Structure 1
Amino acid sequence: MTLAVTGYPAEVLPGWLEALSAYPARLDVALHAEPVPPQVAADKLRRRRTRLEAGRREGAGRGQIEDPQVESAAQDAAELAGRIARSETKLFTAGLYLTCYADTPEDLAQLIDDVKALLSASLATAQAPTFRMLEAWQTTLPGAPDRIGQVRILDTAALAACVPLTSPDTGESGAVAPSAVLAGLSAVTGAPVFRDRWAQANHNSLILGVSGAGKSYLAKTDLIRELCTGTIGAVIDPEGEYVALAGAVGGRVIELGLPCGALNVLELPHPDASGPCELASRVLDLHSLCAVLLGAERAERLRPALDRAAMGAYRAAGISEDTASWTRPVPDLAAVARQAAAGFDPAATELAGLLEPYATGSYAALFNGAQPEGVQEPPLTVYTLRHLPDALRPAGMLLVLSRIWNGARHGERRRMLLIDEVWQLLQDEAAARFVLRFAKSARKYRLGLSLATQDVGDLLGSELGTAVACNAAIQILLGQAPQALARVTDAFDLTAGERDFLATAPRGYALQRTRTGRTALAVIATPDEEPFLHTGI
């Protein structure tokens, strides 16, 4: 038998129909919704407000006291009309139908009474459509149209509250924010689990798992879904695993180490998008880069000479603190090396010799170049390191971090940077310090950092690596190697049950830790996403 909901409560919480979908009996719940055109919605509300106002004035003319229900209805209608005019919400015609199944008439009657009692507990009512049971049953079939037409006008928020999907893993109070993305399904209840990095204390996440546990699969699904919410994405890709994904979403691939993939650490922003001290900031980025290339101790000793050479290169190019001069071609690392070689200071001469392989030698393809101007920023930019030798990978990653950091400081949209195999960057102390500064300050500029690694030792084996891990508000742990399990258990304060789960977790299963709790989940993807997610399996 099919019931049609005829009365709705005045106020509900999200997922108020969860009791019906979770009821231990066969019960089909069908929700039919159709948007009302904005002009039609505005006309309906105007007529309703006119009727309410006419009734209020008629009562006042007769000397009657104000009816609180009429006043409340008029106020609600006026508020809803304003929200529709501001495009903050829309109206829908919605019909809710329930089909109950049982083996005997007695069991069916009992089930119907139970369903009506559940609805009554929420201040809702339901009736069987007399003489239209066939059409009512057809209405609850998958993909069927509404053949009953027992509808009610609901706004967007009220309609969303009728979706019978909620669980302790869905979000606070069962609500799902527009910026949240689907993380997977609960490994315990099968309910959807959502993740909202933009609602956390910081926007960073850490993905930690042994090779083959599904680390890249999870990182890619998270990235794709963030792109769907309007976030601008960037990836530091050591092995070219994200190139196909970039092509699928209309992104761009920059292959570091090739002439077309050179980055210039001294590149300045457009004068209209610049902030104070940009010139000094670029010189500081150059100092960080040289600390990776030359070693922290040697770079510190040569810091004055490098600073003079960098400022001299800017002056030789006609660039000063005046932003009007920033439209001129900027110097590159080769120009800095030439300025150092022109000096008479022994430190400058030493600096010029040390920079020669990177400025004019065999490694110059990474450092001397600029990205084309006037190109619209794509939704996803992948920086692949597969053409870089291992010795230059930390420097290449640092160049990308610097570029993304400077872009985020002058942009307004949310951005997400995914660093795959971040252990390669954390091996260098200067690069690790840059990542830590990045992780601590990214939230100020609506920037989220996603770190994925399989090497627990390099991440947790140093104070800097541990600090980077602690600055991730979202920590996602996949299956762990037996040798690393004890360290992971101590570092993330896991219970015995959580430790056992990670020790035996199948591929694609993970433990997600946020400020709201811990959830064991299974990562899922759509058929359209699948072709771009697998790596070597």
Structure 2
Amino acid sequence: MIRRPRNRRRADHEVVRAGELLQPAGPEALEVHARTLAIGGHLASTMVVTGYPAEVSPGWLAPLLAFPGHLDIALHIEPVPNLVAAAGLKKQRARLESGRRGAFDKGHLDNPEVEAAAADAADLAYRIARGEGKLFHVGLYMTVHASDEETLAEQVAAVKAVAESLLMTVAPTTYRALPGWLTTLPLGIDMLKIRRTFDTAALAACYPFASPELPAPADAAGAGAGAGSQVLYGLNAVSGAPVLWDRFGCDNYNSVTLARSGAGKSYLAKLELLRLLFTGVTASVVDPENEYVRLAETVGGTVVALGADGVRLNPFDLPCHGEAGGEDVLTRRVLFLHRFLAVLFGAEVKGAEEAVLDRALLATYARVGITADARTWTRTPPVLADLAEVLGEDGSEVAAGLVERLTPYVTGSHACVFNGHSTVSTAGHLVVFALRQLPEEVKAPAMLLALDAIWRQVTDAGRGGKHLVIVDEAWLLMRDEAGARFLFRMAKAARKNWTGLVVITQDADDVLASPLGRAVVANAATQILLRQAPQAIDTISASFRLSHGEREFLLSAGRGEALLLAGERRKVALISVAAPGEHEIITTDPGELAAQQWTEDTDPDLAVDHDLGEETWNQ
């Protein structure tokens, strides 16, 4: 039922049209007043924006979206044909020029406002003529809802204050409350038609696809390294506005993610990875818990399950190319083997042991014909058993001790993992090194071996495009000094190879307590903090210079709620969100996986194809 206001007669056709619009899903009754509506059990008042600021920045309307009350905002856009726009601008320029000449003939001074308007009109006319922009008729309307008249008046005044702080002029829809409310409904109908003309750039700035707390990098939207890789991280925890971020538009492309177990750190990393794949970014993942395997199988990636039968990477493999700058590949490989064996042994190799091991490594390569001559680097490399044999022939007590330490990995229980030639390829748009089948004692050296294989792919001179390297559960590697040093080297050199390093860990002390760990964090332009344990919050707060509010947010954050930091003044609290299809691919919740498996087993028609294949993914 729609009641007419007593103080104003309304056209019958307008009431009939309103009734037709509300008939499918409208309220039971409306009471129309001069400036307010009684809609069911609450009141509403609509305002229209009649004046706009001269200059704005992207996302400038975000403060309105962050309004804590019940506020509906509608932006109606109607494109203006180029011929009509050109004709209108021509008339406008003629009027402005006529006014300027008339004032000049009368001896008046230049009017700065007229001069600025004439210059803007000329610039806009030329841009439209070159096809660099268009004109649009834009109407911006806001409807405030409240439970009673007093609260409604307070809310209307608060919205006006926010609008005026943005240098906007608003006016109530006096005697047009019903059309105003209908205009802000999701019907796509503008019944007020109070509009202003915007060009493409001004209209784009009105869209709330940027967070005022976390502005996008300067070159993220333009050409350069960051172009085309901006992805949705989630929604602003305060305003609900989308939070988009481009790691490849920052000073470096690295990130560090710290959170307690179960806070959703791997979920957020997989969500970003999935969305970056759509932009053409390739990726490699070191996955100690097989959390990325379903994702890789879905998108046609490669899974290297170290520890499975017949799956092995040879630590003696040489890069298939000479490194940049003519460096000695053999020398670089021997240095890596020193670091790898230190992680394998669980202790640094120093003094006499280091000297004996260095001679043995060079002799092991020499036995298969690999020397400092670059022409020999393509020959079949040796294996770990060859090194043990050379050390055994040395005859010294130090060499004998090294042989004993190598025995478990040459002829013992772990020989199938490290002793032998490589049996898998590490090339592809997404390669996941799954390490769950390995015992905890050898996960750290296996992670280092996987990172080395990734680094050889990253530094390949023939590779092109952006690449992402994800190291999950990095604390397994950071607790060893040699492993932490290798990760630090990757963090320093990744940017030179158009690569971003993602370090994810649940143990903040292993990262922040050591100088190398702090250096890895310092070389990460993007830092993500999820829920923290009370025992670790003091260390986190001091290291990242968090405010009291940010500290409390991390202590009480729910699953998926995170604090994204990119410098001291660029912070935003967000909630990660995934589409149903994305969630089905990346979730590792045991209950959800069990329910999904039961559905597929009981009804094969509902089964999801998790092996799309690389060809389908690329299409």
Q: 1:30 aligns with which of 46, 51, 74?
A: 74
Aligned to 1:331, the other structure's residue is in SS state coil
Q: Quote how far apart the aligned CAs of 1:198 are.
A: 3.3
Work out whether residues 181 and 226 of structure 1, in 8 Å CA contact, stay in contact via their aligned partners in 2. yes
Please, what TM-score do these two structures have when normalized by structure 2? 0.66
String of CA shifts for 1:22-49, please: whole Å, max 9, x gaps: 668866433456999xxx98x9999999
Moved more, 118-127 or 513-522: 118-127
Aligned to 1:297, the other structure's residue is in SS state coil
Q: 2:257 aligns with which of 187, 193, 207?
A: 207
Please, what TM-score do these two structures have when normalized by structure 1? 0.74
Corresponding residue for residue 399 of structure 1 = 449
Distance 1:342 1:44 in 2: 89
String of CA shifts for 1:389-421, please: whole Å, max 9, x gaps: 222111111112112223223444222222221
Corresponding residue for residue 292 of structure 1 = 343
Corresponding residue for residue 529 of structure 1 = 582
Work out whether residues 169 and 193 of structure 1, in 8 Å CA contact, stay in contact via their aligned partners in 2. no
Work out whether residues 408 and 415 of structure 1, in 8 Å CA contact, stay in contact via their aligned partners in 2. yes
1:58-207 equivalences in 2 (<5 Å): 78=126, 95-98=138-141, 100=143, 140-142=184-186, 144=188, 157-164=201-208, 167-171=211-215, 177=221, 179-207=229-257
Corresponding residue for residue 302 of structure 1 = 356
Q: Which amino acid aligns with 1:288?
A: R
1:484-499 equivalences in 2 (<5 Å): 484-499=536-551
Aligned to 1:515, the other structure's residue is in SS state coil
Q: Quote how far apart the aligned CAs of 1:515 are.
A: 0.6
Q: Quote how far apart the aligned CAs of 1:354 are.
A: 5.0
Corresponding residue for residue 254 of structure 1 = 304
Corresponding residue for residue 382 of structure 1 = 432
Corresponding residue for residue 27 of structure 2 = none
Corresponding residue for residue 59 of structure 1 = none
Corresponding residue for residue 495 of structure 2 = 443
Work out whether residues 48 and 77 of structure 1, in 8 Å CA contact, stay in contact via their aligned partners in 2. no
Distance 1:101 1:496 in 2: 33
Work out whether residues 170 and 192 of structure 1, in 8 Å CA contact, stay in contact via their aligned partners in 2. no
Moved more, 512-521 or 17-26: 17-26
String of CA shifts for 1:94-137, please: whole Å, max 9, x gaps: 64452646899xx99x979x989959975899999x99x97x97
Q: 1:157 to 1:75 in 2, by over 3 A?
A: closer
Q: Which amino acid aligns with 2:366?
A: G
Distance 1:313 1:400 in 2: 26
Work out whether residues 35 and 92 of structure 1, in 8 Å CA contact, stay in contact via their aligned partners in 2. yes
Distance 1:528 1:212 in 2: 21
Q: 1:508 aligns with which of 560, 566, 570?
A: 560
Aligned to 2:580, the other structure's residue is in SS state coil
Distance 1:35 1:272 in 2: 56
Distance 2:74 2:263 in 1: 38
Larger radius of gyration: 2
Work out whether residues 343 and 483 of structure 2, in 8 Å CA contact, stay in contact via their aligned partners in 1. yes
Corresponding residue for residue 233 of structure 1 = 283
Moved more, 449-458 or 149-158: 149-158
Structure 1 unmatched runs, 5+: 56-63, 85-89
CA RMSD of superposed structures (Å): 5.1
Q: Which amino acid aligns with 1:277?
A: E
Corresponding residue for residue 8 of structure 2 = none
Distance 2:321 2:369 in 1: 17
Q: 1:490 to 1:138 in 2, by over 3 A?
A: closer
Q: Which amino acid aligns with 2:297?
A: G
Q: Quote how far apart the aligned CAs of 1:243 are.
A: 1.1
Q: Does 1:219 align with 2:269?
A: yes
Aligned to 2:441, the other structure's residue is in SS state helix
Q: 1:115 to 1:269 in 2, by over 3 A?
A: same
Distance 1:423 1:159 in 2: 47
Aligned to 2:431, the other structure's residue is in SS state strand
Corresponding residue for residue 87 of structure 1 = none
Q: Quote how far apart the aligned CAs of 1:383 are.
A: 1.0
Corresponding residue for residue 452 of structure 1 = 504
Q: 1:421 to 1:94 in 2, by over 3 A?
A: farther
Q: 1:121 to 1:206 in 2, by over 3 A?
A: closer
Distance 1:164 1:227 in 2: 25
Q: 1:516 to 1:190 in 2, by over 3 A?
A: farther
Distance 1:120 1:334 in 2: 70
Q: 1:320 to 1:148 in 2, by over 3 A?
A: farther
Work out whether residues 314 and 320 of structure 1, in 8 Å CA contact, stay in contact via their aligned partners in 2. no
Q: Which amino acid aligns with 1:207?
A: T
Aligned to 1:224, the other structure's residue is in SS state helix
Work out whether residues 292 and 395 of structure 1, in 8 Å CA contact, stay in contact via their aligned partners in 2. yes
Moved more, 270-279 or 301-310: 270-279
Distance 1:449 1:279 in 2: 23
Distance 1:52 1:77 in 2: 10
Distance 1:313 1:33 in 2: 75
Q: 1:321 to 1:497 in 2, by over 3 A?
A: same
Distance 2:171 2:249 in 1: 38
Q: 1:427 aligns with which of 479, 487, 500?
A: 479
Q: Quote how far apart the aligned CAs of 1:93 are.
A: 5.5
String of CA shifts for 1:334-369, please: whole Å, max 9, x gaps: 475377369657477776665454356542334631
Q: Quote how far apart the aligned CAs of 1:451 are.
A: 2.0
Work out whether residues 49 and 168 of structure 2, in 8 Å CA contact, stay in contact via their aligned partners in 1. no
String of CA shifts for 1:234-267, please: whole Å, max 9, x gaps: 2211111111122233322111122453223344
Q: 1:336 to 1:139 in 2, by over 3 A?
A: farther
Distance 1:401 1:255 in 2: 14
Q: Quote how far apart the aligned CAs of 1:82 are.
A: 6.3
Q: 1:151 to 1:425 in 2, by over 3 A?
A: same
Corresponding residue for residue 265 of structure 1 = 315
Q: Quote how far apart the aligned CAs of 1:536 are.
A: 4.2
Q: 1:484 to 1:101 in 2, by over 3 A?
A: closer
Q: 1:462 to 1:173 in 2, by over 3 A?
A: closer
Q: 2:422 aligns with which of 337, 360, 369?
A: 369
Moved more, 388-397 or 223-232: 223-232
Q: Which amino acid aligns with 2:141?
A: L
Q: Quote how far apart the aligned CAs of 1:229 are.
A: 3.8
Q: Quote how far apart the aligned CAs of 1:425 are.
A: 1.0
Q: Quote how far apart the aligned CAs of 1:209 are.
A: 2.2
String of CA shifts for 1:171-210, please: whole Å, max 9, x gaps: 2699985544333334444444444433444433222222
String of CA shifts for 1:303-361, please: whole Å, max 9, x gaps: 42244135415625x99414xx66x4531424753773696574777766654543565
Q: 1:454 to 1:290 in 2, by over 3 A?
A: same
